[in-house]
Structure formats: C-alpha cells, structure tokens
Amino acid sequence: MKQRIENIRNVAIIAHVDHGKTTLVDQMLRQSGIFRSNQVVQERVMDSGDIERERGITILSKNTAVHYGDTKINIIDTPGHADFGGEVERVLKMVDGVVLVVDAFEGPMPQTKFVLRKALELNHPVVVCVNKVDRPEARPADVVDEVLELFMELDANDDQLDSPFVFASARGGYASEDPEAREGDMKPLFEAIINHIPAPEGDVEAPLQALISTIDYSEYVGRIGVGKIENGTIHVNDEVVVLNMHNTETQKKVRITKLYEFDGLQRVEVKEASVGSIVALSGIEDIMIGDTICSPLKPEALPFVKISEPTISMTFSVNDSPFAGTEGKFVTSRHLRDRLYKELNTDVSLRVEDTDSMDALKVSGRGELHLSILIETLRREGYEFQVSKPEVLFQEIDGKKCEPMEAVTIDVPEEFVGNVIEKLGGRKGEMTNMYPAKGGYTRLEFSIPARGLIGYRSEFMTDTKGNGILNSVFDGYEPYKGEIPTRSQGSLVAFESGEAITYGLYNAQERGDLFIGAGVKVYEGMIVGRNARADDMDINVCKKKQLTNTRSSGSDEALRLTPPIQMSLEQCMEFISDDELLEVTPVSLRMRKRILDCNQRRKFRIHGK
C-alpha cells in the first residue's frame, strides 16, 4: 500500500546560468547547521571542480542534504547552462518538486524556460525564488509578472500557476515573502519547500525499485549509481536485478556491497534505505543511467527520460605537429582513447565514436561549451592532442535534411542593435521578438541554426564593446537553412620554423592582428595571426634584419610591436576553419594548418589532392 514519507523532501534547484542558485544552496547549508560555527568554508562550496570555480558555472549536478526540524531535505544543485541540459533532464526524475531561481533584474532567461519546461512536463510543483532583490536595479514585481507569463506560455496547470513566490538575497543570507525585506534568514524558503513540495510516495512493503539517475566515479570502488528508491527497501548485501527500460534484454543479478545516503556534503554509509531516500550504490560494475535496481522476486524497469541527442561534434586526434610530445604527459592514441571512453562513465550527453583513422575519434556533445570544458579538463590532466573545427550534426526527418536550431536572447545597448541584427541575419538568424529592456538596453530574440553561432560569440563581444549579453538554448530541429558564409578574415601562417623575431613580426603586423610575440617558437604551417583580408597569407615572422656596416641588430629595439591578441580556448575553437586544427597541450594552445607545407597546401587548393 502506498504511503507518504512525511519526513523527507526531494527538491532540485534550477535556474539560468549565474542567477545565484549555487550561492543559495551555500546559505541553506550554512543555516541548517551543516558546518561548525568556527569552520572556514569557501564560497560556492557545491562547485567543487576547479573549472567550475574559475568560470563561476555549475557543470555537474551535485547532491546534498540538510535537516530542517524533523525533515530531511535532499537538494540537487543543477547546471544552469544549456550545454549541460542533459544533467538537468535526468536529475528531475529523482525529485518531487523544484525551486526555480530567477534573477530579480534579468528575469526569466532562455535556460529558465528550458529547465522549467522539463519540470512542468513531469508535473513537478514549483517554488519560485526571486533572487538578488538587494541589487540596486532589482525589479521584483515585474519579474513576478514575467514568471507567471512564462508559466502560462508553458501550459502550467492551476496548481503550478499558484506557486508560492519567495524573495531572497543568497549573498545576504535572507529570504522573505516581502520583496522589500532586507534582513532575516532562510527560514521562509525552508518553510515554502516543506509546505509546497510534496513528500515522496511509495510502497515500503512492495518489491524493491530504485531508478539510477546519476553516475559518479571513484578510483577505489569504480562506478557509483545515484538514484531514488521508488518502492521497497534496500539493504547492504542484498541480491538485486539490474534492468534498463531502453535495453530490456540486459538483466543481470548483482550484490549491493556498499550503500550511502547524503548528509550535508558527505556520503554517509548506511545499512539500509527505504522509499523516498536518495541513495548511492557501489558494487555494480557496469551500472548505467536509466537502470532500475529491482528485487529478484519481481523485476520491473521504471520509465526514464530519454536524454537529448548531441548537436555538435569535433574530431580529437593525436598531435602530429613538429612540437608533438614536448609539453604533454599523455600523448598517444591509446591514452586519448582510454580517457575519452572513461568520460562516458559520468557524462551521459557525450558520444565517442571510432573513425577510419586509428589516431582520431569523433566526439559529440550538446554545444561548444560542453566540448570546450572536456578539452580544458583533459589538458589540465596532462593530455596533448589536437581537435578540428566544431561541426553541427544534421538529422534526416521525414526525408528532409534538418539541422539543430538555437533560441537566442540578446540584451544589448540600443546603439549596437542594428549591427547585431545585420550580423545574425547574415548567419540565417530570424528575429522573433524585440522590445526595450531596462537601463537603455534592448532585448532581441532570434531563432538561428546552431552552426550560425559557431564563431559569433567573440565577434559579438567586439561588436558590442563587451556590453552585450548573449544566451542561447537548443530549440529543436528544422529544415536545412542553406549555406552560411564562413569567417570574413583569413589566417597569417608562419612560412618557416624557428623563433619569432621582432623585425619579422613588425613587418607581419602590417598585414593583420598577431597572436604571438617576439621569442615564441613557431613551425611552418602554424597560424600566427589574423589576416585583414579574407584569404590566407604566408609570412616570415622569423625574418632577421640583414646586418651592414651602418646597421646593427640592436636597432630592432626601436621597432614597436602591437601587443599580441591572447586567444582563449573557446576563441581558438571558433576561429579555426575546416582546413585548420587546434593543437592542445597542458602549456600551450596553437592553431595550425592541417597541411603544414605551404607548397603542398597550394597544390591541394588547386588540384584537390
């Protein structure tokens, strides 16, 4: 017989990127007494990865639990960026409701709409937290109206339209039902969760059913499955059956060796767990996301959300440049292949496929950021490799070639509106909405092919002088929109190997913008700058001044060089074209031509071989 487990609440915190949900979870942890009064705790404690902390974004969903009175609240902190939407989709199956965090100035953004739609599709109750009410430009009343409009747009039911609103400052550590409050604690938010998020339901006496929604990995115990117990009770050393709804033939018996529940930031070993609990299981070698852990008496798989397919791919291959093997620790194809397949243990949205070449693998993900985070992670671990230009993945639907589309929201000062509309129009973008935002900004909404955004973000920052905000979210597939012009500027390519000299660079900078300074080692075929014109140009940056009786090499010091442009990983990925590669090492990022020899490149352009 089904019953409610009243002393448990399972809730996910969802929001658009940078709306403050991780800081909000910090305050909930602090005010629930998880930390000692004298304990030093870093900010955004849930963002445990180095890259997460540096970039200020959540990449992986994380579990924690707090106690409020007699109730245990299991909290899942989810990513806010669209490229990690796969993380959000599946963890929503573990919870019974969500806290939607919305910035009191920005209001609902594209990712707000994406994650809220997923929650409403599962009929989850929602508690809306309007965060950052202490911002000078905050407009909480307008944001409440915008959130309610979004609920209606997404066909929310009557109960969801009656969602409670809580106004908070995660940084200030207070929440209130009054948008004017500027002090207090998080008690109103805890109360809203207890009162409006339902307790989990299930049959304690029924055969066991637990749905695995997340995979963790440990070097010591291997794969760890994290999921919610829907029915029954699980004990350490129980013999269970593993089933998968999407692959019904796989049915194997295993034994549970260790069982954990979450308490604060820790995983605590327990002997048994029952309905409504979110648990972590180890001892199951090939456990996958979407698996159901069942009792052998009645093995029955639970339905699981189908994870959205990747939309973009890159080729990862062994570094074969003249500098190969000089800066990395792991440089062989075996190292690269093993590491990429290991990533599949925890990243459900990633695809890795072998190619015709033994030295290359096709890696597909949900977007440029998704793949750039993977590349950055590998280089920090000591891997050296090279990657190709990102390419979108087309699909054939009803006999038509279709491509992934993005819904783009842009906030930009009024003087740059015309430039943005012109640029996106040239990239097959269609403007769907335009209206004035606060503070002299205009909000533009576009529907644009995903390939139209490749290479645009850095151009956008230049066009708006750093004042524009661009957000995008996957918006389904539509028929192919036709050719999109590639980048308008060519590459400056090193003509010979050696060390860049001031004299050579001085002559080269007249041709365009340089990416390197004096003293940098280069090789033939390496990209050293961006040409002012559309075609590529071979230049000699190693050229030295010829010495005579009246001229000395020391006069080089009088030559003034423009500081080189420092390209980030994402900017390099956006810049390279089809005939170019990005060489990635723990120390350097170098762009290069696929064919290094300039004569062979010329022959290939003319004869195609």
Query: 133 labelled as ligand-binding?
Result: yes
Look at the block and give the residue holding tokens 């900078």.
Answer: 509
Q: How far is CA 17 from CA 13, 34, 213, 283, 324, in A?
A: 12, 26, 22, 35, 37
Phi, psi of 399 (to 5 degrees): 80, 0
CA–CA separation, 168 and 130 (whole Å) = 6
Query: 425 labelled as ligand-binding?
Result: no
Query: 19 labelled as ligand-binding?
Result: yes
DSSP codes of every residue in 64-123: EEEEETTEEEEEEE---SGGGHHHHHHHGGG-SEEEEEEETTT-S-HHHHHHHHHHHHTT
Neighbours of 233 (CB within 10 A): 18
Name beta bridge partners: 363: 314, 352
Query: 21 labelled as ligand-binding?
Result: yes
Query: 22 labelled as ligand-binding?
Result: yes
Residue 87 tokens read as 């993380």
Query: 132 labelled as ligand-binding?
Result: yes
CA–CA separation, 332 and 338 (whole Å) = 10
Strand 71-77, strand 8-15: pairing: parallel
Q: How far is CA 497 from CA 512, 522, 524, 582, in A?
A: 20, 5, 5, 18
Query: 276 labelled as ligand-binding?
Result: no
Say if residues 402 and 478 touch (Cβ distance below 8 Å): yes
Residue 444 tokens read as 């533009």
CA–CA separation, 88 and 376 (whole Å) = 22
CA–CA separation, 168 and 186 (whole Å) = 8
Strand 291-294, strand 209-218: pairing: antiparallel
Query: 20 labelled as ligand-binding?
Result: yes
Residue 249 tokens read as 């033939």
Measured over the CA atoms of residue 176, residue 152, residue 82 and residue 427, the dihedral's sign is negative
DSSP codes of every residue in 465-495: TT--EEEEEEEEEEE--------S--EEEES
Say if residues 475 and 405 touch (Cβ distance below 8 Å): yes
CA–CA separation, 319 and 580 (whole Å) = 13
CA–CA separation, 77 and 79 (whole Å) = 7
Task: Identify residue 402 by its one-letter amino acid code.
Answer: C
> Can you say which residues are annotated as belonging to the binding site for GTP?
18-23, 131-134
Which residues participate in the annotated binding site?
18-23, 131-134
